[in-house]
Amino acid sequence: MWPPLHGLCSLSRTGGAMAALLKLSRRGDNANVRPSTRSAGLSAHTCEALLFRKHGDPPRVVRLEDIDLPPMGAKDVLVKILAAPINPSDINMIQGTYSILPDLPAVGGNEGVAQVLEVGSRVTSLKTGDWVIPRDTGLGTWRTEAVLAEDDVISLPNDIPLLSAATLGVNPCTAFRMLSDFEHLKPGDTVIQNAANSGVGQAVIQIAAARGVNTINVIRDRSEFTQLSDRLKAIGATHVIKEEALRRPEMKELFKVCGHVLSQNWH
Ligand SMILES: NC(=O)c1ccc[n+]([C@@H]2O[C@H](COP(=O)([O-])OP(=O)(O)OC[C@H]3O[C@@H](n4cnc5c(N)ncnc54)[C@H](OP(=O)(O)O)[C@@H]3O)[C@@H](O)[C@H]2O)c1
């Protein structure tokens, strides 16, 4: 699969850093977000994290901080975060408008891919070097390292593109559910979606194409419309149209030839 168009984050200490990352310790003590008590520099027991202590405008409330890592338990793994995206829900969590909100302070970021650096004595399913992704939301992936429970992560092959691994957990799953849960789509059926160039929209295109389902993909006009349209078609889009075109009478003809059309509006 092609990686989504949206960017991955990078860590920055500059004010207003919107680099990436987040979750909250499920141990109930917020141990993964303790500010560092060490006086200078980083040790093996600290990491850098993008932390928010209150909800609000992300550039104002997210700060890069050194935080202590909790001690490793027998069923824990120490991981290095390799890449983590910024998704709309990450922003909404920081703003305080999302339906699931972490205890504060919290490290940002809900998905990403990490490499196992060290395993606890009773860890059975993972080994050093494995790639893992969060099993659930709220893990706080916008950090350089984390100590996580073995059960909080899922291992995956490390021979897939890094960007695909880092963005596997949210958008492709959402696209899969959208294409599976509401209609029994058959090859030859057609799905129409707006924001088709979004991460989730590109996943819809690829999963639909793999199932023989056609897609009508609506995007906003832009100077590089042709290049974007070509790129979406290269990953399997059947039709790519501008928002304005939806209002034109000739669209009726497109809908007629597309047969059963399931619509998906991302806004
Ligand atoms: N489980 C869930 O419910 C779930 C999971 C994942 C995502 N989502 C939702 O799915 C949507 C896409 O998420 P994503 O991560 O794939 O987003 P993304 O990659 O950041 O892309 C954002 C998309 O929104 C479009 N957009 C922004 N403002 C718009 C406007 N005013 N009118 C029309 N289009 C506009 C952008 O188009 P331009 O390129 O033209 O700016 C772009 O296609 C979001 O609403 C997100 O919250 C829901």
List the chain pLDDT tens, one digit each, 267 residues.
333 333 344 444 433 333 333 333 333 344 346 555 554 444 458 999 999 999 999 999 999 999 999 999 999 999 999 999 999 999 999 999 999 999 999 999 999 999 999 999 999 999 999 999 999 999 999 999 999 999 999 999 999 999 999 999 999 999 999 999 999 999 999 999 999 999 999 999 999 999 999 999 999 999 999 999 999 999 999 999 999 988 888 888 777 777 666 666 666
Q: How far apart are CA 129 and CA 152, in angstroms?
A: 17
Pocket of ligand 1 (CB under 6 A): 4, 6, 87-89, 170-171, 174, 195, 197-200, 220, 266-267
Q: Whose CA is nearest to atom 11 of ligand 1?
A: 266
Gap from CA of 195 to ligand 1 centroid (Å): 6
pLDDT at 262: 63
Q: What is the pLDDT of residue 6?
A: 36
CA distances from 87 to 4, 107, 134, 157, 242 (A): 11, 14, 15, 23, 24
| Residue 201 · residue 231 · CB < 8 Å | no
Q: Which residue has the least CA distance to atom 1 on ligand 1? A: 174
Atom of ligand 1 nearest to the CA of 219: 40
Question: In ligand 1, which atom is closest to the CA atom of 89?
Answer: 47
- Give the CA dihedral 88, 93, 96, 98, nearest 10 degrees: 70
| pLDDT for position 16 | 36
Q: Which of 45, 98, 155, 261 is catalytic?
A: 98
Q: Ligand 1 atom 47: the closest Cα is on which residue?
A: 88
CA of 266 to the centre of ligand 1 (A): 6
Strand order in the sheet with 113-119: 145-149, 76-83, 113-119, 131-134, 153-156
Query: What pTM does this model have?
Result: 0.81
* pLDDT computed for residue 36 by the predictor: 55
Residue 160 token pair: 């897939």
Residue 98 annotated in active site: yes
The whole-number pLDDT of residue 250 equals 80
107 within 8 A of 24, measured Cβ to Cβ: yes
Report how far residue 45's alpha carbon sits from residue 265's, in angstroms, rounded to the nearest whole number.
45
Domains of the chain in start order, with CATH, are 31-166 (3.90.180.10), 171-264 (3.40.50.720)
Pairwise CA distance, residues 50 & 157, whole Å: 27
Instruction: Classify strands 106-107 and 46-52 as parallel, antiparallel or unpaired.
Output: antiparallel
Token pair 């650096």: residue = 117
The C-alpha atoms of residue 55 and residue 226 are separated, in whole angstroms, by 39
Dihedral (CA of 134, 60, 102, 49) sign: positive
Cα-to-centroid distance, 170 and ligand 1 (Å): 12
Q: Is the dihedral of CA 263, 185, 165, 151 positive or negative?
A: positive
State the amino acid at position 217 in one-letter form.
N
